[in-house]
Amino acid sequence: MGKEIISLKKEILEYGKDNGINALGFLKAEPFFRDLERYNYADKKGYLSSFIKKNSELNIVEGFKSVVVVLISYPNPNYNLPKNPGKELGNKIYGKVSSSSWGKDYHLVLRDVLEKLAEYISNISEMKDYYISVDTSPVSERELAVKSGLGWIGKNSNLINKELGSFVFIGALFTDIEIPGIDNIELSDDFCKDCTICIDSCPVNAIDKNMRVIKTNLCLSQQTQEKEVINSFVKEKIKETKYIYGCDICQEVCPWNKKERNFNPLFNPEIEEVFIDLEKLLLETNSSFKSKYGHLAGSWRGKKIWQKNGKFILLDSDS
């Protein structure tokens, strides 16, 4: 059996500290997503994005007993952007890509981290089967993180960790072993308190303050990933903010992100991957786009999505 099972949690925590995992949490593998009040509220309001599959995580937890949740920090634009990007780019017209798409694709980075963690756990326990979830399955990693005590849901609907803020990627490792000493817990305090900075700063008023959910029909982060034609109001806001993929505004203004923090160096981008030359972007072929931007998480939607949003910046918003 290797290490005594009673020390398993401690061993995993130590492994995380030594291997670039910024925070680690644990919880029992049991269905809960379909009973979330926030989820049901968003569903009734029509806020759920086209990428969410309802209630299907029930099929994933079967056969697993414990979940290990990891947080990996990524760059905060407040501290990791040039002050005058236009000057550095030769005053070319540019579009911005949100920091969740900087550097190497986070799906690949977190999967590698979790595969190595799974290998470690299997070597010190009787674990034989596991399942990895990194934002590509029906599992809500954010809710798993909350249940494991790693943070709370901010008013902008992001997970906020007291030490790391909200610029974190979340991954989950479902295991077929019981890890002693874990309980599904949530932080009892609301550390956002009376703060409404994220709500007040959202350029499209996409934050529903009643239940901390996002109006995906307005949210720039969501709408810049959609293939459908965007309404004129959202088009205008894309032109104002210059985002062609994602949006960081509600996180940038959050007081919990005012402190500069270390992040995984694999997410450190080249300036040309953050500020996209729009005139060149419109000339990209599928192959050249993949060659230039294919390693970025935001490239998964393809060049046409970026080009569509870039045109809103280059041209009149109603064109």
CA angle 95, 137, 253 (to 5 degrees): 40
- Give residues with Cβ within 8 angstroms of 51, minimum separation 6: none
Distance CA 240, CA 259 (A): 27
H-only helix segments in 84-182: 85-88, 106-124, 141-147
DSSP symbols for 203-257: TT--EETTTTEE-TTT-HHHHTT-SSPPPHHHHHHHHHH-EEE---HHHHT-GGG
Distance CA 10, CA 182 (A): 11
Is-catalytic flag, 112? Answer: no
| Residue 190 tokens, joined | 């609301």
Quick one: CA dihedral 151, 152, 156, 157, positive or negative? positive
| Active-site hit among 105, 135, 208, 248 | 135
| Residue 108 tokens, joined | 């690949």
Neighbours of 139 (CB within 10 A): 23
Instruction: Give the residue numbers marked as catalytic.
Output: 135
